[in-house]
Amino acid sequence: MINVIQDGWGWIEVICGSMFSGKSEELIRRLRRAQIARQDVAIFKPAIDDRYSSDHIVSHSEQRLRSIAVTHAQEILEMAGDAHVVGIDEGQFFGMELVEVCNELANKGKRVIVAGLDQDYRGIPFEPIPQLLAIAESITKTLAICMVCGAPANRTQRLSSDSERVVVGAKDVYEARCRKCFQPPEQESASPSG
């Protein structure tokens, strides 16, 4: 049971979209606002994501904030401490465990902000983001711009045909695509038609 006056009000915010849609930028923007208001902020990212920096979260536009790299979502619970605001980047890499962790943090009165991909490179909902969307108080869907036709884009096209490959944040391996230009891997071909 939350004591609102003593513990503040907890809730969950999700920022989701395709790659190149500015999720991390938006996460960083919100966390910075909280820091400016002198709120205690704890920031986490999965240890798998070591692009650019291992102790910062970094957006494609090079904005950065100090963060803690963790392997399991459970570690976030243990390390969040007295933070008022808990930021989590690349939430899709934490698996379903993240849902309960976010719930617990919010129930303790913390503002939890999660950024992550809502679809994988096949256009399939990427757990646990869909589940987080269902329980979140606030949802922001960020849109990229389709790199083929310039329309608003919410899909991530993998340009490599290697389905085994795990590539995090590699600009030359992925493109943002709109619904019309996105091609699921089964029907992969060099140039999208239409």
User: Would you name the residues annotated as active-site residues?
Assistant: 90
Q: How far is the CB of 151 from Zn ion (least distance, A)?
A: 5
Q: Which is nearer to Zn ion, 18 or 67 (CB)?
A: 18
Taking the complex as a whole, the smallest distance from the CB of residue 154 to Zn ion amounts, in Å, to: 11
Number of H helices, E strands in the chain: 5, 12
Minimal distance, residue 101 CB to Zn ion, in Å: 36
Q: How far is CA 49 from CA 6, 96, 192, in A?
A: 36, 18, 30
Q: By C-beta, is 113 or 176 nearer to Zn ion? A: 176
Q: Of the candidates 142, 44, 53, which has an alpha carbon nearest to the alpha carbon of residue 87?
A: 44
Q: For 35-153, list the strands marked E by DSSP.
A: 41-46, 56-58, 64-66, 68-70, 85-88, 111-117, 138-142, 144-145, 152-153
Q: Of 108 and 141, which has the nearer Cβ to Zn ion?
A: 141
**Least spacing, CB of residue 145 vs Zn ion, in Å:** 9
* Cα distance between residue 108 and residue 98, in whole Å: 15
**H-helix or E-strand containing 97?**
helix 97-107
DSSP annotation of 110: -
Closest distance between Zn ion and the C-beta of residue 118, in Å? 18
**8-state DSSP, 26:** H
Q: Enumerate binding residues for Zn ion (CB under 5 A).
A: 146, 148-149, 151, 178, 181
Q: Is 166 exposed, middle or buried (0-12, 13-18, 19+ CB in 10 A)?
A: exposed
**With the C-alpha atoms ordered 83, 88, 93, 94, is the resulting torsion angle positive or negative?**
positive
